[in-house]
Amino acid sequence: MLGPVRLRGGGAASARGAAGLAAEAIGSAREAGCTGKIFARFDSAFYNSAVIRAVRGNSAYFSVTVPMNSSIRAAIARIPDDAWTGIKYPQAIWDDQLGCWVSDAEVAETGYTAFTSKPKKEQVTARLIVRRVRARNEKAAEGQDELFPAWRYHAVLTDSPFELVQSEGQHRDHAIVEQVIADLNSGPLAHLPSGVFNANAAWLVLAAMAHNLLRAAGTRTGRHYARARTATVRRDLITLGARIARHGRGNLVLHLPAGHHREHAWLDLWTEACGPPARAA
């Protein structure tokens, strides 16, 4: 489900208004029937005291990428060598810093208090989970060995209740939002309809509502469309080349194409949304 959306004008920073959006998103999830644990994952642009406190204040867990400043480097340096745990990824992940795919790394954690320059009530104490990947030796092809291993570090601040490896894996598992953004950009947001800010803001809200309805419709028809893009759901289940005929006094009948290859999926959706069709007289 796509949570609340809002169009912001000008060169707004990513964290501007994010605390309110996070609170709305968590509330929407609860209203939709979510009774389990809710995790809010953010990239480093949302490393912000107000955002984290909004998540905690709404009884959810947070996981946010931490920018590499001097305080974080000092905390990482205090982690003992025997605290690192080796992990292997089921699928290789792309490392932007190394410019290559990596399939193994090491993780460790330590306690950390963030935003210490702020008043005590705005500071956040949580787990600092660190993943390190061994840097590539550029001189290896020339036969020059490294004197000591160099590492690339990626840090996450979280209050996840799960164990170390699972918590780190949960934070990396964030690609769904990228797919949703790509889906919207290739659909209703490909061309905003107006030069008027309020009109575009309304269009964005309608796009989010349409996205949620299409995702719900696809899920109702079975596993195939539950994972399909909204463009596929529109093509196969919404823009259906059917024929409308009038029978009797004001009765409209929808005639589906004979032998349509998506007939069963469409009928499943119709039954779920409107109940079983009435029997023909």
Task: With CA atoms as reference, report the closest residue to 22 among 11, 33, 49.
Answer: 49
CATH topology of domain 18-173: Transposase Inhibitor Protein From Tn5; Chain A, domain 1 (3.90.350)
**Which of the four pLDDT bands, split at 50, 70 and 90, describes residue 278?**
low
Q: Which run of H or E residues covers position 154?
A: strand 151-158
Q: Is the pLDDT of residue 138 over 60?
A: no
CA 197, 198, 201, 203: dihedral to nearest 10 degrees? -110
- So where are the chain's domains? 18-173, 198-281
Task: Please list, residue by residue across 107-131, b when 16 or more beta carbons sit within 10 angstroms of its beta carbon and e when fewer do.
Answer: bbbeebebbeeeeeeeebebbbbbb
Q: Is the pLDDT of residue 215 over 70?
A: yes
User: 71 and 93 in contact (C-beta within 8 Å)?
Assistant: no
SS3 content of the chain, % helix, strand, coil (to 5): 40, 25, 35
Residues found in the chain: 281
What's the pLDDT score for residue 140? 47
Tell me the whole-structure pTM to 2 decimals.
0.74
What's the pLDDT score for residue 277? 60
